[in-house]
Amino acid sequence: MSRIGFLGTGPLSAPLDRFLSRTGHDVVLPEPAQGVCAASCQTVLDRSEILFLCLPPPDAAAVLSGLVFRPDHRIVSLVADLPLAALRGLCAPTRDITRTLPLGFVELGGCPLPACPDADLLERLFAPENPVMAVRDERAFNRYLALCAMVPAVFGLMATGADWLAAETGDSGGADRFIARLVQCALTASVGDPAGLTAGRDALATGDAIGRQMIAALRQGGVHPTLRQALEGIAAHLPEA
């Protein structure tokens, strides 16, 4: 097992450190009273073999530039605004650097983790409980990162539907539970289906006039082009070099 340090703590890093602690690793965290400062981060760095960079994007470059890294450190970065080229400069002489996404679902298992440019370290730490996907190209990695923004958007659509159902039935708690479990069941049934999501959508709407009506209404409302534009806009602002 490894000694794994976290530079930066909070809601994004906590599920990761709990998962790693539960699977037998020695997790090193900064002192809470010191916050994100060079002294507390350097202490974590000096005690660790593997480092997870979970620093707030506005502070990350300034904090990292003041630290002394070792050539044998292995680094996993969750900082969206720092591409590999910048990380290699800030964390020199360390060269073993991997980027992944700050997905809190990893603690529950089944969470897909893109790894750029190499998946070996993340597979050793998080698989088989969580599938790890090697993404060699940083441009492609940023598209995975942009797509993650769909998750809160999907929750927003579900909340809109639940609000409508609650207003119509007077049962707000039941409306939330119903839509959450309905979507959960549909997704569980579709995971691993070689036919893909489009076929799953069509299968759910086959012979279902109201299902086809909803698909048509969203298409006519421009939802899909708007989604593509949003994804392209997010991806365009993610640095690649």
Residues 116 and 195 in one domain: no
Determine, yes or no, domain membership for 25: yes
Query: CB–CB of 54/6 below 8 Å?
Result: yes
Which of 101, 136, 171 lies at the terminal end of a domain, its last residue? 136
Q: Tell me: pLDDT of 141 over 90.
A: yes
| 33: pLDDT strictly greater than 70 | no
The pLDDT value recorded for residue 195 is 67
Burial 130-147 (b: 16+ CB within 10 A, else e): bebeebeebeebbbbbbe
Residue 90, classified by CB atoms within 10 Å of its CB into exposed (0-12), middle (13-18) or buried (19+), is buried
Supply the pLDDT for residue 11: 83
What is the residue-averaged pLDDT of the chain? 91
Fill in the amino acid letter for 181: R
Q: Is the pLDDT of residue 14 over 60?
A: yes
In a domain, 144, yes or no: no
Among residues 136, 160, 176, which one ends one of the domains? Answer: 136
Q: What pLDDT is attached to residue 205? A: 77
- Select from 136, 166, 200 the last residue of a domain: 136
- CB-based contacts of 20, cutoff 8 Å, min separation 6: 4, 27, 125
- Distance from C-alpha of 149 to C-alpha of 230, rounded to nearest angstrom: 9
Question: What's the mean pLDDT in 43-55?
Answer: 95
Q: For residue 160, is it within any domain?
A: yes
- Kindly tell me the burial class for residue 11, based on how many C-beta atoms sit within 10 Å of its own C-beta (0-12, 13-18, 19 or more): exposed
- The whole-model pTM stands at 0.87
241: in domain: no
Q: Which two tokens stand for residue 167?
A: 């207003």
Nearest CA to 74 among 122, 14, 27, 11? 122
Domain boundaries, position 118 = 3-136
Q: What is the pLDDT of residue 208?
A: 64
- pLDDT tens-digit map of 125-134: 999 999 999 9
Query: What whole-number distance in Å separates Cα of residue 160 and Cα of residue 187?
Result: 19
Same domain, 108 and 10: yes
